[in-house]
A and B are shown apart, each in its own frame.
Chain A
Amino acid sequence: MYYPKNFEYESPNILKEALDLLEKYQQDAKVLAGGQSLIPLMKLRVLSPKIVIDINKLSELSYIKEDDNYINIGALTRHNEVLESELLSRYAKALVDAAKNIADHAIRNMGTIGGNVCHSDPAADYLPVVLALEALLLTISNKGKRTLKADEFLMGPFETSLLPDELLLEIKIPKVKGRVGSSFLKFPYHQGDISLINVATLVKIDENKVVKDCRIAVGGILPKPERVKGAEDVIVGKKVEDKDIVEASKIASETLNPQSDWMASSEYRRALIATLVENSLNLSLERAGARI
């Protein structure tokens, strides 16, 4: 039976209290949100924090709201709340696609979007989505707030630019106005498991179905998920035909250099990149209304 090393447990009732604890304990503390990654890692003793700060009582960090320019998602929002959100379905379909495919119903009742992004497993499903949607990450500490772009926040495998005394407060998804479609697809090791490759795309078209904006992000590769500019450029500025999509997916699979590991070879992952980019672009174009 797995058991974590013992630790001191704190469960602050208000945000200020959590920030004070983080300021006091810095690297010795680990924030516990849904715990669906942290607790297994503690049980396997990969991680043995001295202090665990349980933020589950901070219900003010659980919300999905909109303002004029952003959909704002509280860091403690559970995966099942993301996938049931009509607001996100309208403005950030790719995020809903990703939430739908995380593990299973029980895990999704506990796991949080903030935890998933901060844990920053290179194969985590939200990561290519926040890159493709150009999300902003709002952090807070006793020193103040910071807003970081997704690509500034994600540093590498299990590494972010979050400082030891900081807490992720909110994920801000910019509203892209006009005819926009986004989607997320993954190929897991097996159903409900970690992604070998995952892909998020966003496409914006004008009234003549000419692509004005295209974003392609690929995850499941080391050291971290990446945008593929070369592939995006193939799609932008034209009325896209099937051959362009094939060309873009080919560029994506050739540009990136996925790793080989016990789950899949580099070649296999490359083939997955090509297929998933092609399928995701088609789905995003369909959602933007380019196929009507």
Chain B
Amino acid sequence: MKVNGVLVEEEVEPRMLLSDFLREKVDALSVNVSCGVGRCGSCSVILNGKLVKSCLIFAAMANEGHIVTVEGLAKDGELHAIQKGFWENHALQCGFCTSGFLMATYSLLKKNLTPSEEEIREFLKGNLCRCTGYTNIIDAIKYASETLTGIPKDKLKEAFRW
């Protein structure tokens, strides 16, 4: 499979979960596992262009697929607008859920660059923050949406290159 554009080849047990594969074999430590049963969204990544929960997928199912994690967001040492949004709005406290929120936001904004607050809340239903930082998280997403709306088309394409 490819992870953030880099080819990865490993032989693993069928039962190895994609979340563990990404952490242990690819060193993509942004992928956090919290609930382990698909409720909390901490382990969210993009698989073949779609947001998924990597704790509910066997690594073997992603064979030949392309995965994007938070490690793939920043480019040339500069944070992605979504990451900046979380930074500027203090949209995290302990940070454990943040990777999942970043990937869910990426997936949302790629599909709909200017979501309403209701659409944001509906889309992020599958991501839980137990520090309850939701208000700031929503502010962060609005900030990212506004920043990205203002940039030239080629930069926008670059921002959503995966």
Contacts and interface: CB of A to CB of B under 8 A. Distances in A.
A110 B57 contact: yes
Interface residues of A, number: 30
Nearest to B51: A106
Given A3-B15, A11-B63, A105 B57 contact: no
A39 B36 CA distance: 10
Interface string B36-55: 11100100100000111100
A36 B38 contact: yes
Q: How many residues of B sit at the interface, in one of the four size bands?
A: 20 to 34
Contacts of A5: 15
A237 interface: no
Contacts of B63: 11
A35 B61 contact: yes
A71 to B, nearest CB: 24
A239 interface: no
A108 B25 CA distance: 27
A101 to B, nearest CB: 10
B37 to A, nearest CB: 5
A106 B15 contact: no
A9 interface: yes
Interface of A: 1-9, 11, 32, 35-36, 39-40, 42-44, 52, 54, 56, 103-107, 109-110, 191-192
17 contacts: A3-B17, A6-B15, A8-B14, A35-B57, A39-B56, A39-B57, A42-B15, A43-B37, A52-B14, A103-B38, A104-B127, A106-B52, A106-B126, A107-B56, A109-B50, A110-B52, A110-B53
